[in-house]
């Protein structure tokens, strides 16, 4: 016999409790009220998810401190509760409640809650307002109307069903406009319904599980955003997956019941999932009974929706009984899974009252292509079972109606999207806070619903993107990612919109969104343009102000933002952004100092920038990956160029996937490699900047992480240039992972391999090596280097390394720098540690072998003019107080 569902009785009891507990007692009710607010002009009404239809219906009216409610026997009690909370939050002091069969309260404003199926009073109220009722709307639809009914200020929240009325209450919360004096009820008529039937979240990630309190909070959030499903399927819950046969302990069952009850309050269907596929004997009675017992235990606490998952497992049968029973099927694994699904569907789902349709995840849950497993699974599984699908990939850049149409033709079942767009268990250092993108509006024509898989350790931050997901699921035709995202921040931040937006702009990008740092990026671009044109003062001021804003935003959030959970969960990203803001200011000041030829200040800022950048990069969390670090790196490169440091650098037009940085192209280690973060397009390239024009003889390019790799530039051309503008061809490439050219004898500074065709593959580069006549510098002399230091550090092109003297120099000691060939030296720059400087003369050897003094060492930064051809120069020491530390000695050459 089917078991009776106790939900209706519970709702009625709560409704009567609300009458006596939630409502303030009527003290004095008058139909005379004074409006202390004026009608707003041209106000924008922001309701999210975006309603399907709405129109302005008059100017509206003020929300009086005394409000009447008219409810019915079947009015959703949670909708009443939400309306009461909303009214109290907007200054209502007295609420007078009447039943649908009673005379309406004589209050300045009256709210009728519940559609015709809940509250018969809504029929007359809507008719008096001249508004059509919700009867023809789809499930969960609602009508929300305001106006004057027979001269009386009236608000009607009428759902197609109780969920619709609850959603009307959620929209009512958002439509009230803040005013000085009394808040304002706009004149409006909303007819709204969801485009997708199933809209929710699947806690299906690997890694840190959400806490019980976080899950409860998520369920409240889902209710507010009109999401109607939550799937309990944490991969690292042992009772969900590895120990699925084991019953949940009593304390866990109690917590699950709390979740189920909270879900019901928010009109969210709690879906309980089990993943038995890694060990189950599909045809075994004992395992089937263990599954039944597991599901019965949660059915008894109110769960009515169930799922069996077969994702992320090997296609192995685990018992001899299965191997024998399904051996003759073209796909024994699909046949075994279908057998268990169908048996559970027949013997549990169909025999328990109130249960929803069974949901499953096939083992092959991605892609639009077919195979024997997919076809047999589709043919054998009961037609009413819903299939999850993640799109063309585990985490899909795009999911379209056309793609879904293809998989629907293969699976032949209703498709429920499992979207890993918002998940980050693939890389927990990413913070996914941008809007949902890449999902076509027509997707709703081909799927039964859409579930997002959020972040594991950041449930609060997940709400930013989930808001936009909810907006998309409800009304995909009206969905505008950027607008939805901005409104998500407003909804989440309260009075801290600007500050939170600054933070979230700089964690905006993801695998699927290339944009980053929406305010900072154009300021950086303008600064570089003006800097290279010689007039960057204004752009520098703007950029410094924004970097200060970036640095201060985390501090302001920590001090003032009243969401401690969010702050705790995002602290590493906040800290990194703060450091980036500080480093950015240092970088701009360094660049402006060198623009003014203030070497001492530029060197001070360079040292500070190196320390700040190192501290920032020690934090693994990803912040403004393609903006902040590239800006600082370019600033350091510009400073190197100004100082005269000639350094070979790797270049590319593409971003970086994870930590596969472009520097790994030139690290002389074929076991490491650069990896782009997207597919190669025409004009993309990987390359080398030698730092100056030299005679190039040999080029070696090794693409792909291994010889069988598919990630390489399929069609390309190897080119060289002296100026980065005019290019000459060396050789073309056609499906070659490795390109080697020798005996070139060409003058070049830049070498690149440029794509000549679009492709779907990314690119990996193990090594990009160029052999040239680029000169070297040998260092000798005294004092000797201290332990863990080297004389060579003074001439290695890296200001981070430093020669530290082992002793204080004696009078007459010298350090000698020998060039690999004579050259015209225009200047010599010496960078000492400002805390440990030495004294001495700088001398150059002339063509006769004599030493000529050209200047003296200064504290920190020294630049002396030379204008002589030489192959040797030296520092001749005077008496010093401390052992000197020299970061770099840089001869600058005539172009």
Structure tokens given for 870 = 């030489």
* Residue 385 and residue 341 in contact, taking contact as beta carbons nearer than 8 Å: yes
> What DSSP designation does 103 have?
P
β partners of residue 651: 687
Q: Which helix (H) or strand (E) holds 156?
A: strand 152-159
Buried b (16+ CB within 10 A) or exposed e, 279-303: bbbbbbeebbebbeebbebbbebbb
Quick one: CA torsion of 255, 258, 264, 267, rounded to 10 degrees? -70
Instruction: Give the other-Cβ count within 10 Å of 99's Cβ.
Output: 15
Helix, strand or coil for residue 143? strand
Quick one: CA torsion of 560, 566, 570, 575, rounded to 10 degrees? 10
- Catalytic residue (choose from 312, 329, 667, 689): 312
Instruction: Give the other-Cβ count within 10 Å of 44's Cβ.
Output: 7
> What DSSP designation does 42 have?
S
- Measured CA angle at 456 (ends 452, 460), to 5 deg: 80
Q: Which is nearest to 593 in space by CA: 643, 633, 558, 553?
A: 643
E strand residue ranges, 399-443: 415-419
Task: Determine whether 773 is an active site residue.
Answer: no
Instruction: Give the other-Cβ count within 10 Å of 798's Cβ.
Output: 13
Q: Which is nearest to 433 in space by CA: 495, 498, 488?
A: 488
Alpha-helix runs per DSSP H in 714-850:
none
Q: Rounded CA gap, 77 and 11, in Å?
A: 6
Q: Which is nearest to 879 in space by CA: 829, 826, 832, 839?
A: 839
Q: Which is nearest to 717 in space by CA: 704, 699, 743, 695?
A: 699
Q: Give the strand pairing for 229-232 and 198-203.
A: parallel
Instruction: Count the residues in the chain.
Output: 895
> What DSSP designation does 794 have?
G
Question: Which residue is listed with tokens 């003014």?
Answer: 596
* Residue 825 and residue 817 in contact, taking contact as beta carbons nearer than 8 Å: no
> What DSSP designation does 240 have?
T
* Residue 599 and residue 639 in contact, taking contact as beta carbons nearer than 8 Å: no
Cβ-Cβ contacts under 8 Å for 290 (sequence gap 6 or more): 244, 245
Catalytic residues, by residue number, are: 312
């Amino acid at each position: 016999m089917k078991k009776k569902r106790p939900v209706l009785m519970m709702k009625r009891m709560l409704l009567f409790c609300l009458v006596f507990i939630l409502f303030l007692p009527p003290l004095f009710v008058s139909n005379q009220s004074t409006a202390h607010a004026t009608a707003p002009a041209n106000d924008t009404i922001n309701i999210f998810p975006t309603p399907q239809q709405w129109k302005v219906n008059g100017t509206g009216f003020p929300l009086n401190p005394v409000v009447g409610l008219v409810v019915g026997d079947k009015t959703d009690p949670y909708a009443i509760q939400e309306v009461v909370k909303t009214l109290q939050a907007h200054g209502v002091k007295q609420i007078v409640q009447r039943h649908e069969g009673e005379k309406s309260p004589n209050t300045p404003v009256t709210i009728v809650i519940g559609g015709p199926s809940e509250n018969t009073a809504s029929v007359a109220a809507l008719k008096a307002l001249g508004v059509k009722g919700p009867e023809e709307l789809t499930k969960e639809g609602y009508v929300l109307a305001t106006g004057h009914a027979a001269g009386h200020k009236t608000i009607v929240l009428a759902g197609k069903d109780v969920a619709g009325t609850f959603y009307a209450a959620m929209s009512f919360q958002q439509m009230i406009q803040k005013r000085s004096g009394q808040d304002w009820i706009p004149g409006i008529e909303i007819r709204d319904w969801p485009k997708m039937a199933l809209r929710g979240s699947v806690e299906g990630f690997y890694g840190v599980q959400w806490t019980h309190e976080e899950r409860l909070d998520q369920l409240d959030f889902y209710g507010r955003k009109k999401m109607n499903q939550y799937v309990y399927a944490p991969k690292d819950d042992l009772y969900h997956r590895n120990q699925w046969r084991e019953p949940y302990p009593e304390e866990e069952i109690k917590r699950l019941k709390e979740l189920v009850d909270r879900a019901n309050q928010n009109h969210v269907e709690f879906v309980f999932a089990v993943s038995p596929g890694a060990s189950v004997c599909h045809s075994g009675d004992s395992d089937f009974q263990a599954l039944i017992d597991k599901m019965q235990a949660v059915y008894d606490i109110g769960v009515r929706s169930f799922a069996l998952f077969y994702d992320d497992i090997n296609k192995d049968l685990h018992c001899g009984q299965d191997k024998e029973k399904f051996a003759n099927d073209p796909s024994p694994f699909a046949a075994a899974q279908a057998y268990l699904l169908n048996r559970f569907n027949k013997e549990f789902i169909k025999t328990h009252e109130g249960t929803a349709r069974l949901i499953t995840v096939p083992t092959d849950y991605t892609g639009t292509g077919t195979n024997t497993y997919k076809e047999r699974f589709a043919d054998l599984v009961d037609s009413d079972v819903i299939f999850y699908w993640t799109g063309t990939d585990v985490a899909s850049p795009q999911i379209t109606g056309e793609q879904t149409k293809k998989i629907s033709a293969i699976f032949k079942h209703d498709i429920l999207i499992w979207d890993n767009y918002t998940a980050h268990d693939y890389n927990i250092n990413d913070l996914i806070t941008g809007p949902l993108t890449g999902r076509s509006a027509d997707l709703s024509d081909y799927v039964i619903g859409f579930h997002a898989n959020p972040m594991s350790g950041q449930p609060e931050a997940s709400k930013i993107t989930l808001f936009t997901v909810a907006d998309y699921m409800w009304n995909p035709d009206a969905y505008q990612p950027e607008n939805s995202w901005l409104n998500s921040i407003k909804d989440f931040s309260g009075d801290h919109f600007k500050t939170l937006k600054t933070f979230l702009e700089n964690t905006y990008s993801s695998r699927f969104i290339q944009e980053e740092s929406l305010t900072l990026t154009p300021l950086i671009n303008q600064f570089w343009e003006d800097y290279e044109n010689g007039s960057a003062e204004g752009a520098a001021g703007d950029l410094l102000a924004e970097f200060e804003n970036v640095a201060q935003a985390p501090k302001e959030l920590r001090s003032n933002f009243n969401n401690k959970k969010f702050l705790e969960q995002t602290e590493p990203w906040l800290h990194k952004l703060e450091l980036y803001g500080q480093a950015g200011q240092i970088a701009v000041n360094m660049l402006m100092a060198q623009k003014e030829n203030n070497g001492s200040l530029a060197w001070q800022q360079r040292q500070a920038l190196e320390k700040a950048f190192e501290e920032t990069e020690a934090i693994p969390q990803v912040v403004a990956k393609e903006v902040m670090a590239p800006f600082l790196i370019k600033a350091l490169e510009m400073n190197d160029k100004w100082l005269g440091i000639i350094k070979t650098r790797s270049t590319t037009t593409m971003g970086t996937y994870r930590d596969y940085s472009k520097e790994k192209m030139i690290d002389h280690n074929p076991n490491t490699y650069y990896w782009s973060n997207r597919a190669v397009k025409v004009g993309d390239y990987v390359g080398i900047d030698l730092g100056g024009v030299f005679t190039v003889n040999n080029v070696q390019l090794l693409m792909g992480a291994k010889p069988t790799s598919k990630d390489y530039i399929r069609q390309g051309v190897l080119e060289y240039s002296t100026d980065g503008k005019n290019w000459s061809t060396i050789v073309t490439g056609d499906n070659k992972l490795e390109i080697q050219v020798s005996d070139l004898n060409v003058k070049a500074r830049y070498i690149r391999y440029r794509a000549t065709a679009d492709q779907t593959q990314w690119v990996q580069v193990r090594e990009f090596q160029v052999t040239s006549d680029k000169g070297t510098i040998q260092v000798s002399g005294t004092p000797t280097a201290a332990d863990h230091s080297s004389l060579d550090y003074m001439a290695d092109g890296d200001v981070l390394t430093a020669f530290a003297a082992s002793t204080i120099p004696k009078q007459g000691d010298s350090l000698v720098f020998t060039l690999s060939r004579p050259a015209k030296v225009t200047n010599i720059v010496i960078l000492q540690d400002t805390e440990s400087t030495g004294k001495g003369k700088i001398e150059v050897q002339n063509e006769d072998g004599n030493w000529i003094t050209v200047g003296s060492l200064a504290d920190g930064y020294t630049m002396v003019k030379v204008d002589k051809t030489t192959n040797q120069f030296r520092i001749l020491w005077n008496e010093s107080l401390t052992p000197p530390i020299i970061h770099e000695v840089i001869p600058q050459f005539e172009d």
